[in-house]
Amino acid sequence: MEAVADSVDRRELLEMALRPLGALGTAAKFPQDRSGIERLIEHLPPGRPSEPKRFAFQAADEVPRYDDEHTIWLVPAGEGSLRVRRQVPWELGFVAVVVRPDGRAGEFEETDGFGVPDSELTDQARADRQAFERRRREQEEEQPAHEERIEERQTRFRTENLIRTVAAPPGQHPDGPVVAYLALYETGLMLNYLVPRPPQEVMRPEDPEDPFADPGTEAIFPAIEIDDGLGTEYEVVDIDAVDMNSSPMRGRLSYTPAVPTGAETIRVSFESVTVAIDLEEP
Amino acid sequence: MTQPGFDEDEEMREQEAASILLLRVALRLLGESRLRGDFGTEEALAGRAVAIADEITGGAPSPHPRRPVIEASLIRPDRISLSAPFDSSSSTAWSLMLDGTLYGGMTVTGYGFVEAEEPEESSQEEEAERERLQAEWRVRTERIRQFTATRFVRALTPPSQPGSPRPILAVLLYEDGFYVESTYDRDAPTFDPEAEARQFFAVQRGAEPVITVTDDVGTEYFESAGGGSGGVRVSHASLGFAPAPPRTARALRITTDGTSVELPLGG
């Protein structure tokens, strides 16, 4: 199959190219040797914590590497420039662009495979190709089980599995997190709660010190523990920001396994508040 | 890789082209600014961004009739924001730090530009109709705003509803209204590779349940504060209503798809 980079791949490549350029500081040119580029990589800004990107050096005369790890390869391109290259996701092909130290970026280069005849492939390239083909076979073999897991996840809380809902006690302090109700399913448990909305200057600072901070998400998903008194270990399987625009905000966490029939109470603990919900049927 | 169908979507293509232009301009601005140690003055930055964009595009016109092809503004000496319109009402925007960190990417919509036309003289009937529509709009707006969802009181849960295709999960009572929470199953989404993005998302939006609320004292409840739903194969919906049930009401009756459930209001 021919690898084709699309505009998203090209855009993401340019996004990644900004980091080594920024890390260059006041240096006149990009380093052209391994140690210089590896030092540059050490000084790259970290980027979004939830999407760490791995950068690595590759020599200009090396056949392109494929590691399926979304690595951004920095390759000396001569005249103080860098070729920034990344694998097209899930393909044996790459998209690259040469960036000059003044920020000029060349045309996108797209290459299928290794860009050289098979007879010129190095041992490393053959190993990369074999590993890529093995991963693809494994993915194909894993596909039915993968689809089964998706099916299970998407249908776990179908209406036929709903047993009943249980309201949390009234009179909880409105200034803190408040449990609204539990939904008990044969396949799990849903916890519906409200949390105070942080002030606007916290939610949307004009000039955030940490540009990747997400105070709204942090607030709506506080640390929560649930205890049924029977030692059941609940695992969060889904999180929903039901309403982040309201004040208080509303969130929902879904857990497995189902609450055992012998459980009489669910205790929901936030950092500062614990709410006990009586499960006894009226 | 982009989902099939998106390549044919003109808006998507234009947005990506605007993003790529914005990033090429960002690279150039960063290449120049890093040597100075700052992004310069607001005015110089804005002018430089436009000049670079003109150089890259060969002077192509902006997709927006009143905005330049790239707008750059200073957040602080080591941070700038960049915006590139991709049609007459939308733009893609990012912020950039001097160390190469790109953050806060978003699509901004809704600043449409329409050539103003001289209003024609209205007849008495047209004027009356306009006033009637305005009055209707005011009432609708007041109703939507009535439920503020700021002071939660408690949740009510109904008896179990085995076999119900759209069971009511709970009512969240606030001082000035309430949310009705329900759930329903949805068919597995199908994907038509020939469909364009708009068609794809239109198909995914399922029909929301129609919910009506009554009580034993004849209160007229109306939708307020909006609502929402989400889920792939199972949807959980929340719909706001106002006013709050009066103290004299003993129970709420919630009807959806022809089936009703009653929730005692108790204390």
Chain A residues closer than 8 Å to B150 by CB:
246-248
The verdict on residue B188 lying in a domain is yes
Residue B250 domain-assigned (yes or no): yes
Q: How far off is chain B from A169, nearest CA to CA, in Å?
A: 7
**CA angle centred on B149, ends B144 and B151, rounded to 5°:** 145
- Pairwise CB contact (< 8 Å): B101 & A211: yes
- Over residues B38-64, the mean pLDDT reads 94
Instruction: Measure CA A282 to chain center.
Output: 43
A4 min Cα distance to partner chain B (Å): 8
Instruction: Give the integer Cα–Cα distance in Å for B19 and A227.
Output: 48
In the prediction, which pLDDT does B117 show?
Answer: 60
Flag whether pLDDT at B28 surpasses 70.
Answer: yes
Angle, CA of B122, B126 and B131, to the nearest 5°: 110
Mean pLDDT computed over B147-164:
93
Q: Is residue B2's pLDDT more than 50?
A: no
Q: Is residue B36 included in any domain, yes or no?
A: yes
Structure-block tokens of residue A38? 């590896």
Amino acid A35 reads S
Question: What values do phi and psi take at B220, rounded to 5?
Answer: -95, 110
Pick B188 or B31 by higher pLDDT: B31
Shortest Cα distance, chain A CAs vs residue B229, angstroms: 8
- Report the residue from B28, B97, B167 with minimal CB separation from A159: B167
Whole-angstrom distance, CA of residue B67 vs CA of residue B91: 10
- The three-state secondary structure class of A141 is helix
**Chain B residues near residue A17 by CB distance under 8 angstroms:** 27
Distance CA B236, CA A253 (A): 12
The residues, any chain, with a CB within 8 Å of residue B186's CB and separated by 6 or more, are B206, B231, B232, B233, B234, B235
Q: Do A25 and B149 touch (CB under 8 A)?
A: no
Residue B114 lies in a domain: no
- Structure confidence at residue A153 (pLDDT): 92
Question: B157 and B252 in one domain?
Answer: yes
Q: Is residue B223 part of a domain?
A: yes
CA distance A159 to A162: 5
> How far is residue B79's CA from residue B95's CA, in Å, rounded to a whole number?
7
- Determine whether the interchain pair B169/A174 forms a contact, defined as Cβ–Cβ distance below 8 Å: no
Residue B228 has a pLDDT of: 84
Contacts of range A159-162, beta carbons closer than 8 Å, 24 or more positions apart: A159/B164, A159/B165, A159/B166, A159/B167, A159/B183, A159/B184, A159/B185, A159/B234, A160/B185, A161/A185, A161/A186, A161/A187, A162/B160, A162/B167, A162/B169, A162/B183
B247 lies in some domain: yes
Question: Chain A partners of B167 at a C-beta cutoff of 8 Å?
Answer: 159, 162
Last residue of a domain, one of B56, B76, B109: B109
Q: What is the mean pLDDT of residues B65-80?
A: 93
For residues B204 and B235, is the Cβ–Cβ distance under 8 A? Answer: no
The reply to whether B174 and B100 lie within a common domain is no
Which pLDDT tens digits describe chain A residue by residue (282 residues)? Answer: 444 557 788 999 999 999 999 999 999 999 999 999 999 999 999 888 877 789 999 999 999 999 878 899 999 999 999 999 999 888 899 999 999 999 999 999 999 999 899 999 999 999 999 999 999 999 999 999 999 999 999 999 999 999 999 999 999 988 889 999 999 999 999 999 999 999 988 888 877 888 888 899 999 999 999 999 999 999 999 999 999 988 999 999 999 999 999 999 999 999 989 999 999 876
Structure tokens at B203: 């198909």
Rounded Cα distance between A249 and A197, Å, is 6
Q: Is the dihedral of CA A125, A68, B28, B90 positive or negative?
A: positive
Return d(Cα B69, Cα B83) in angstroms, integer. Answer: 8
Residue B89 has what pLDDT?
Answer: 85
| Strand ordering across the sheet containing A55-57 | A55-57, A72-78, A81-87, A93-99, A109-112
Cβ–Cβ of B37/A26 closer than 8 Å? yes
B253 in any annotated domain: yes
CA distance A99 to A79: 11
Chain B's closest residue to A10, CA to CA, is B20
From B2, B27, B159, residue closest to A99, measured CB to CB: B27
CATH of the domain at B231: 2.60.40
The number of distinct structural domains making up chain B is: 2
pLDDT of residue A1: 43
Whether residues B28 and A165 touch (CB distance < 8 A) is answered with no
Using the 8-state DSSP alphabet, how is residue A23 labeled?
Answer: H
Query: In this structure, are B80 and B10 located in the same domain?
Result: yes
Residue B206 banded pLDDT, cuts 50, 70, 90: low
Residue A169, φ and ψ in degrees, nearest 5: -65, 145
CB contact under 8 A, A178 and B152: yes
State the best of A4, A6, A11 to mutate against chain B, taking most chain B CBs within 10 Å. Answer: A11
* pLDDT computed for residue B203 by the predictor: 54
Domain span including residue B61:
6-109
Distance from CA of B162 to the nearest CA of A (A): 8
Is B100's CB within 8 Å of A44's CB? yes
Q: Which of B55, B80, B109 is the last residue of a domain?
A: B109
A115 vs chain B: nearest CA distance in angstroms? Answer: 21
Identify the pLDDT of residue A207: 78
Residues B97 and B165 in one domain: no
Interface test with A, best of B7, B36, B102 (most A CBs within 10 A): B102
Which of A2, A13, A14 is most worth mutating to test chain B (most B CB atoms within 10 A of its CB)? A14
Q: How many CB pairs under 8 A join A and B?
A: 176
B99 and B23 co-located in one domain: yes
Within a domain: B31:
yes
Beta-carbon separation of A165 and B104 below 8 A: no
pLDDT in tens, B218-239: 999 999 988 888 888 899 999 9
Domain end (from B74, B109, B144) = B109
Looking at residue A48, its pLDDT comes to 82
Q: Are residues B90 and B156 in the same domain?
A: no
Contact assessment for residue A71 and residue A16, using Cβ atoms and an 8 Å cutoff: no
The residue that leads in pLDDT, A269 or B257, is: A269
The pLDDT value given to residue B5? 40
Residues in chain B: 267
